[in-house]
Structure 1
Amino acid sequence: MARLAGVSQATVSLVFSDGGGAHRVSEATRERVRDAARTLGYRPHAAGRQLRLGRTSLVLLAVPNILGPFFARVLAGAHEEAGAHGLAVVVSSGWSSATLARATTTSQFDGLLVCSPDDSQLGELPESTPVVFLDSDPAHARGAARRLTVGLDVAGGMRAAVEHLASLGHRRIGHLRSTLSAHTFRARQAGFEEAARGLEVVEAGVALNDGLPAARAAARSLLDRPDRPHAVVCDDDVVAAGLYRAAAELGLRIPEDVSVVGMDDIAAAALLTPPLTTVDLPGELLGRRGVAALAALLAGGPAVEPEPLPTALVVRGSTATAR
């Protein structure tokens, strides 16, 4: 290839280097080398580059539940951004602190993206491994040189949901809340309590990892009360779908008999009947920002904490004025 391009072997190596040496070669020479490579059908040897640079170009995205529609949005955004940085994303679900520790000590991955972690899942991660926490407690990254958090304003989203129902005249508000001990749900609870001051509140816990059946059962316990609330906020859209099912079984109409607000704005939210009013959590943007932050850490850049991503209430047909 060097002979065909009329350059030295060292110049060829610089052109295909992942270590930043290509800038030392003129654009005209780089193009001549690439033309020679295309003529010869040459492809850089990925394994050789990895050995030389001590990197795999793989990052691990750890999500609590791969079946969760919101985490599919995060993964889509992460995949899209990873390609721009020469990275590939591997997803892991149902992980533990031991799984993460293994991933960081066996050189399988250059860095980690840890999304919406339950506090019990983290344990101790080696300080040498770059980690970006998504929708997580900022304390997990505070004071660490190779740690960052990309947050979501979930508390603000929950406040908007409750304030929307209060503006419609609802004074008795139900809340189907997650029983998981993750920071994201503590933040949602804090936002709910702040916005619901002065309102009458009825709550029921939901084990989110148990899916739609658990959501339906919790919703039914709330709606079957003699003093049932006429408006309910759900900690995610799957729980809201469970409430739709429970309401139908009890002969209740949405929104005439009960107004419903979800959180996440998954694709199915707009397909429910009536379409679900919900809080949009920008999952794709969260994934993209997370990968961009991790790529900056891998490149040796400073750990600069970005501002939490904003959330937005999307009003559809599942909420109505209180009767």
Structure 2
Amino acid sequence: MSEDAIEEFIQRRKKATINDVARLARVSKKTVSRVINKSPSVRAETRDRVNAIIERIGFRPDPQARGLAFRRSFLIGLIYDNPNAQYVVNMQMGALDALRGSGSELVVHPCDRHSERFIEDIRDFIELQRLAGVIILPPISEDKRLLALLEELDVDYVRVSAVQPTTTTGGYAVLSKERIGCRAAGEHLAQLGHKQIGFITGPEGYVSAIERRAGFREGLQAHGLDINWELEAQGAYTFESGHAAALKILDRPNRPTAIFASNDEMAIGAYKAAFELGLRIPADLSICGYDDSPMALRVSPPLTTVNLPSRDMAKAAAMTLLTDEDDRRDEIIFESGLVVRESTARL
């Protein structure tokens, strides 16, 4: 901010507020709060600039508000409503990778987005713990009510979600290009000669499920194929739903020679269905998943799957919260790619 603007403000003899300091210093209100509370996360140059303007315009922090800020903990919240247990574990581990040695700790909070108290329960959690920041996982990371609550509470947050090419997300976000990896999965199965290909979708309404289906379809279409609705079944990102969906698909008269499941949990459920029906993998049925979770290497044969770097994504989200606001990137985007193993074979 120019000297003229500062002098003009002083001459107006207006009582200075934290918003005035932020505007004149060209930083966010949260950065001013950190400077006032002597947070070590603010760069020296920024701290000096903010302190100089505080002195020039005679800003005096509200003691009560400052007391509340001092009582804010060094806790980072991880909030989720996701049925994929391994995904949540990977996210926890990634966040802990970033927080180790930082003086901050992780608090994990499962919730139920279908509950009437969904928003109020999260409000209570954040206010009770006095969280310094929040990481929110899909699908609740796409809930506008939750985002509005976090803005209202003035708490730092980072969303983890899938990229949608036609959507402007806004805010701090860690995003994954899930469509690309699923396109590779569709092309892989088509190149192996499969034409009757089953598909187990993710839960209805999930951005990730929409993106994975779109990518898989693009991969098939690149080879003159398409998703056959008769060989498509709804899943819920759980082992049980994958098992049920695979049994349904494999009971069709035009039984598929390959199945793509929208995550590894459901793909392993398809393994069980194949075993129960006496089908050999991959001789009778090729199976491909998504996530590249640890279980992909623990089943026999090892699972062909799309790699989602969920642990690295959570680490990036936590690192964003530990970084001074002026140095943060609005979006950090991760790619996904196919990892070919022994569960898929040429027809």
Shorter chain as denominator, the TM-score bin is 0.7 to 0.9
Asked if 1:57 is matched to 2:82, the reply is no
After TM superposition, give the deviation of residue 173 of structure 1 in Å.
1.7
- Name the SS of the counterpart of 2:259 in structure 1: strand
Question: Against the structure 1 CA distance between its residues 66 and 223, is the aligned structure 2 distance closer, same or farther, given a 3 Å change threshold?
Answer: closer
Contact 1:172 1:200 in 2 (8 A): no
Structure 2 CA distance for partners of 1:204 and 1:74, relative to 1, 3 Å: same
1:104 Cα offset (Å): 4.1
Change in Cα spacing, 1:66 to 1:203, as seen in structure 2 (3 Å) is closer
Q: What number of residue pairs does the alignment pair up?
A: 274
How much does 1:152 deviate? 1.0
2:215 aligned partner: 191
Equivalent residue number for residue 19 of structure 1: 39
**What does residue 275 of structure 1 align with?**
302
Picking from 120, 123, 133, the partner of 1:101 is: 123
> Are 1:316 and 2:336 matched, yes or no?
no
| TM-fit CA distance, 1:51 | 6.7
Query: In structure 2, do the counterparts of structure 1 residues 240 and 52 end up closer, same or farther at CA, with 3 Å as the change threshold?
Result: closer
Whether the 8 Å contact between 1:118 and 1:180 is mirrored in structure 2 is: no
Q: For 2:100, what is the secondary structure of its paired residue?
A: helix
Residues 177 and 334, structure 2, Cα contact 8 Å, conserved in 1: yes
Gaps of 5+ in 2: 1-36, 45-66
Normalised to the residue count of structure 1, the TM-score between the two structures is 0.76
In structure 2, the residue matched to 1:73 is 90
Q: Work out the CA distance in 2 between the residues paired with 1:67 and 1:176.
A: 15
Residue aligning to 2:107: 90
Structure 1 alignment gaps of length 5 or more: 1-16, 25-49
Q: Corresponding residue for 1:28?
A: none
1-structure distance, mates of 2:192, 2:79: 39
2:138 is equivalent to residue 116 of structure 1: yes
**Which residue, 155, 159, 165 being the options, matches 2:189?**
165
Q: Secondary structure at the match of 1:255?
A: coil
Question: Is the contact between residue 163 and residue 177 of structure 2 (CA under 8 Å) also seen in structure 1?
Answer: no
Q: Which residue of 1 aligns with 2:242?
A: 215
Question: How far has the Cα of 1:18 moved from its partner?
Answer: 6.0
User: What is the SS of the residue equivalent to 2:190?
Assistant: helix
Q: CA deviation at 1:105?
A: 4.5
- Residues 1:203 and 2:235 aligned together: no
Q: Report the RMSD for the aligned CA atoms in angstroms.
A: 2.8
Partners in 2 of 1:265 and 1:221 — Cα distance? 24
Aligned ranges 1:234-245 → 2 under 5 Å: 234-245=261-272
Q: Please give the secondary structure, in 2, of the residue aligned with 1:301.
A: helix
1:199 match: secondary structure: coil
For the residue of structure 2 that corresponds to 1:135, the secondary structure is: strand
Per the alignment, in what secondary structure is the counterpart of residue 309 of structure 1? Answer: strand
Q: Is the 8 A contact 1:269 1:276 kept in 2?
A: yes
Distance of aligned partners of 1:200 and 1:121 in 2 relative to their CA distance in 1, 3 Å threshold:
closer
